[in-house]
A and B are shown apart, each in its own frame.
Chain A
Amino acid sequence: MPGGSDAELVARCRSGDALAWSELVDRFSRYVYAICVQAFRLPEHDAEDVFQEVFAKVYEHLDRLRDDDAIRPWIGQLTRRTCIDRLRSRSREEVTEDVEPEGVDESLQTIAESLAVHEAMAGLPDNCRDILDRFFARDESYKVIGEALGLPGGTIASRISRCLEKLKAAMEENVEVARPVSG
């Protein structure tokens, strides 16, 4: 993974590496944002407050993280709890349950899977990450993508197709590597 594993990135943050914090924010900003606006459907101004609060807590408590590899679930949980606190604070009633929108667990699972896909994209060659992200996540047209990346607009569709195949291969390779040895 560019920038190193999660654990390596956390270690760099702890050592005072000035760029590491910025990389950490880049690595998890979409994740935190998606949990706020998709899983918990917070309005934009609440989502912004939660987003900043989560990163402030991460910055403050990074030293307390026992397992550096666990930063991802930790940030996920932190974001979830902060979203719930925000929803409760907006409610006039003494609500202790049911503030989470329906289907939040499924949304969180999908968001986590998406994060894994984006990480696999980061290792793809030939502008694939940029091309796929611009088309599928930013809804940019072939023309806009072509202009931004200096590529002929007529080739974008075929590049998207090739990049998706490369992504599929990269994801399958990851699973092969991660598959536990049995027998």
Chain B
Amino acid sequence: MIRVKAHDIEQLARLIGVLPLAPEGWVHAAKELPLARRGLDDIVARAEADVAFRARLVADLESALAEEGYEPSPPTLEALRERYSKE
């Protein structure tokens, strides 16, 4: 564990200021990761079980998802794009 060597008041005040809040939207998106990951897993599982759906994902990812009512977050969409654009 990191220890602060000297504990004078000025140093403590300066150290508090070293860690500003991360932007709220970034933190929110990071907190949503488990949810996004579950959405990703659902789509991948379905694509593995449904050849036609998989083919539509490969042909036009965004349209195939929209037609099926999926509204993936940007990180999920990016992960899917990476997975299916290589096919």
Q: Is the interface of A mostly helix, strand, loop or mixed?
A: helix
CB neighbours of A118 from chain B (8 A): 16, 19
Given A21-B33, A51-B30, are A110 and B15 neighbors across the interface (CB < 8 Å)? yes
Check if A178 is an interface residue, CB within 8 A of chain B: yes
Q: Pick the interface stretch among B4-12, B44-52, B57-65.
A: B4-12
How many residues of A are counted as interface, with CB atoms below 8 angstroms from the partner's CB atoms? 44
Given A25-B31, A52-B30, are A171 and B20 neighbors across the interface (CB < 8 Å)? no
Q: Judging by beta carbons under 8 Å apart, are A116 and B4 in contact?
A: yes
Query: Which residue of B13, B18, B22, B75 is within 8 Å of A111 (Cβ)?
Result: B18
Complex CA gap A175/B7 in Å reads 10
What's the nearest-Cβ distance from chain B to residue A33, in Å? Answer: 4
Closest chain A residue to B33, Cβ basis: A59
Complex CA gap A22/B29 in Å reads 10
Q: List 29 A-B contacts (CB under 8 A).
A: A21-B31, A22-B31, A25-B27, A29-B22, A29-B26, A30-B21, A31-B19, A33-B22, A34-B19, A52-B75, A55-B30, A56-B33, A72-B1, A110-B15, A114-B15, A115-B2, A115-B19, A116-B2, A116-B3, A117-B16, A136-B13, A136-B14, A137-B18, A164-B13, A168-B8, A168-B9, A171-B7, A171-B12, A175-B3
CB neighbours of A175 from chain B (8 A): 3, 7
Chain B residues in contact with chain A, CB under 8 A?
1-4, 7-9, 12-23, 26-27, 29-31, 33-34, 37, 75
